[in-house]
């Protein structure tokens, strides 16, 4: 049984369909160039071979548990399934990929919490309530992405700051125009806006993001601990002593990213002939 465009528009919004179409066309376009085809293939292989994939699998289980608990509390139902999937792909996976920064950025997890509670989320939700026709969305999406790319590139150098400022103003004006159109539609049909499903769609990503922070911390700890274990295997050749070094590293870390950061430079003092006493003295 095949789906026509009208049936797809029942499942997906026009903006979602536009994004899906452009992603598909981009992937298809990459396959026509041999170099980009090989490069994209290598990226996919590296991703699926990395430990990040294992953490993403655990994140999926954890997120499913949170969703189950929300369902038990009568907050979540199957009408929020699409929102949950979008949140996982658009937020959870991106958080996991950025976890390598957790040991470098001092307020990494505080910033995650702030991002989940920003007032701008209300504006984003309101703006996304109104959708244009599919053809309009297909035209707008690449234009906005192109402007955002220019904005990022222009912001890197002092001599192109005027270009960045111009793009900033264009995006701000576009954003306010979208907001105005959405507010106009809300006022025209406020009862259609002030519904329980809309409230659920707004609150769900916030609740999931806040609930995900404990897992993100555990994921960051696991990934940084694994990096230390790899370095230990370079400096300690004896298998029994290596296991002892890993165990000592785990114990001394006390599940703290800060402690792992303190232990990291000490590992450089180990050598192939390190005894257990050497390991204990150096790591502690």
Q: What is the pLDDT of residues 103-130, one digit of tens each?
A: 777 788 888 888 887 777 777 788 777 7
Rounded CA separation 136/83 (Å): 23
Amino acid 4: pLDDT = 60
Amino acid 59: pLDDT = 94
Q: What is the mean pLDDT of each run of 10 residues along the chain (284 residues)?
A: 56 80 84 75 66 85 96 91 89 86 82 80 79 87 88 82 88 88 88 87 92 93 88 86 89 89 86 79 80
Q: Supply the pTM of this predicted model.
A: 0.77
Cβ contacts of 150 within 8 Å, gap of 6 or more: 163, 167
Amino acid 64: pLDDT = 96
Cβ 235 vs Cβ 272: under 8 Å: yes
Neighbours of 271 (CB within 10 A): 11
* Radius of gyration of the chain from its Cα atoms, rounded to whole angstroms: 24
Which tokens belong to 119?
């007032």
Could you give the percent of the chain with pLDDT greater than 90? 16
Nearest to 169 by CA among 157, 181, 159, 161: 161
Q: What is the pLDDT of residues 223-253, one digit of tens each?
A: 889 888 888 888 888 888 889 889 989 989 8
Rounded CA separation 253/226 (Å): 13
DSSP 6-46: HHHHHHS-HHHHHHHHHHHHHHHHHTTSHHHHHHHHHHHHH
The residue to which tokens 């230390």 are assigned: 228
């Amino acid at each position: 049984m095949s789906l026509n465009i009208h049936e797809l528009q029942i499942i997906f919004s026009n903006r979602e369909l536009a994004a899906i179409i452009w992603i598909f066309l981009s992937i298809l376009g990459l396959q026509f160039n041999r170099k980009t085809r090989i490069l994209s293939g290598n990226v996919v292989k590296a991703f699926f071979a990395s430990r990040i994939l294992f953490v993403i699998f655990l994140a999926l289980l954890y997120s499913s548990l949170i969703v189950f608990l929300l369902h038990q509390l009568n907050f979540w139902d199957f009408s929020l399934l699409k929102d949950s999937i979008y949140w996982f792909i658009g937020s959870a996976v991106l958080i996991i990929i950025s976890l390598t920064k957790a040991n470098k950025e001092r307020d990494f997890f505080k910033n995650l919490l702030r991002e989940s509670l920003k007032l701008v989320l209300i504006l984003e939700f309101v703006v996304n309530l109104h959708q244009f026709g599919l053809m309009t969305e297909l035209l707008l999406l690449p234009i906005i992405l192109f402007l955002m790319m220019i904005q990022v590139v222009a912001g890197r150098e002092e001599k192109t700051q005027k270009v960045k400022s111009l793009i900033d103003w264009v995006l701000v004006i576009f954003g306010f125009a979208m907001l105005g159109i959405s507010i106009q539609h809300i006022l025209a049909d406020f009862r259609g806006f002030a519904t329980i499903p809309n409230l659920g769609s707004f609150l769900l990503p916030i609740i999931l993001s806040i609930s995900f922070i404990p897992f993100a911390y555990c994921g960051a700890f696991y990934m940084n601990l694994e990096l230390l274990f790899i370095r230990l295997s370079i400096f300690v050749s004896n298998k029994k002593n290596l296991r002892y070094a890993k165990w000592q590293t785990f114990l001394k870390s006390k599940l703290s990213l800060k402690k792992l950061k303190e232990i990291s430079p000490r590992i450089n003092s180990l050598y192939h002939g390190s005894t257990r006493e050497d390991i204990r003295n150096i790591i502690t």
